[in-house]
């Protein structure tokens, strides 16, 4: 990722495509979620009880949910000074005792769209598949923040359709992942929360709402 030329010749580099962020990808895809993104989720769904944030990072999502009055069990593969580090979500076998919902912004694992990676990374598909399975197992709820276009992929859509997808909350404002004051660039992707509920009425189709 150090080579920022993206195959462009020297004289064309100043005309970089707009989707090149200019930032190197963070280790383990660590991108803290701005508060408004989590608040939008909470404005549209009612979480039934304690929440597990399994990719908690520095607690960006967890803190907003806690402020709403819900207990949050926070874990992450890395130790970022918040919650419990060293927990690989993909190897977990059940949700922590008492938790009734999983809420997270998972690692997309695609090296970034700027590298021309496939639309659906295997890592993200594995995450979603495992998260749906744990949610069904505990009869709980699941909210995952993904890029809006991700859900249109064949593998992603099959996976979502097989799970108890309750609603898609589309964020009409694009997320700025880095706050660099006036130099902050507009985010390049639209995102959406995928909300699953194992207790939903499966005869009803999922809803789409805009937040």
The residue ranges of DSSP E strands in the chain, in sequence order, are 51-53, 72-74, 101-104, 141-147, 165-170, 191-197, 207-210
- Going across the sheet that includes 165-170, the strands are 72-74, 51-53, 101-104, 141-147, 191-197, 165-170, 207-210
Site string for ligand SAM, 171-210 (x = CB under 6 A): ----------------------------------------
113 binds ligand SAM (CB under 6 A): no
**CB of residue 83 vs ligand SAM: minimum separation in angstroms?**
10
Instruction: Identify which of residues 30 and 178 has a Cβ nearer to ligand SAM in the complex.
Output: 30
Binding ligand SAM (rule: CB under 6 A), the pick from 8, 20, 28, 96 is 28
Which one of residues 20, 25, 32, 44 is an interface residue with ligand SAM (CB under 6 A)?
32
Token pair of 183 as six digits: 């130099």
Give the integer Cα–Cα distance in Å for 206 and 98: 27
Nearest distance, CB of residue 61 and ligand SAM, angstroms: 5
Nearest to ligand SAM of 50, 107 (CB atom): 107
User: Mask 51-90, x = binds ligand SAM (CB under 6 A)?
Assistant: ---xxxx--xx--------------xxx---------xxx
Query: Contact at 8 Å (CB) between 207 and 170?
Result: no
Q: Does 104 bind ligand SAM (CB under 6 A)?
A: yes
Q: Whose CA is closest to 95, among 150, 63, 141, 163?
A: 141
């Amino acid at each position: 990722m150090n080579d920022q030329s993206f195959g462009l010749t020297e004289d064309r580099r100043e005309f970089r495509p707009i989707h090149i962020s200019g930032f190197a990808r963070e280790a383990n895809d660590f991108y803290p979620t701005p508060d408004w993104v989590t608040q939008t989720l909470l404005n549209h769904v009612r979480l039934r009880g304690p929440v597990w944030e399994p990719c908690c990072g520095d607690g960006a999502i967890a803190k907003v949910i806690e402020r709403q009055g819900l207990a949050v069990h926070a874990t992450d593969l890395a130790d970022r000074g918040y919650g419990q580090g060293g927990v690989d979500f993909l190897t977990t076998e059940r949700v922590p005792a008492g938790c009734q919902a999983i809420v997270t912004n998972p690692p997309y694992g695609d090296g970034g769209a700027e590298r021309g990676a496939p639309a659906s990374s295997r890592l993200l598909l594995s995450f979603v598949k495992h998260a749906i399975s744990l949610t069904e197992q505990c009869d709980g709820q699941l909210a995952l923040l993904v890029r809006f276009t991700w859900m249109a992929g064949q593998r992603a859509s099959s996976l979502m359709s097989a799970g108890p997808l309750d609603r898609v909350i589309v964020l009409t404002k694009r997320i700025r992942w880095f706050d660099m004051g006036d130099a902050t660039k507009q985010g390049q992707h639209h995102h959406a929360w995928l909300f699953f509920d194992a207790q939903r009425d499966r005869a009803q189709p999922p809803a789409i709402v805009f937040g």
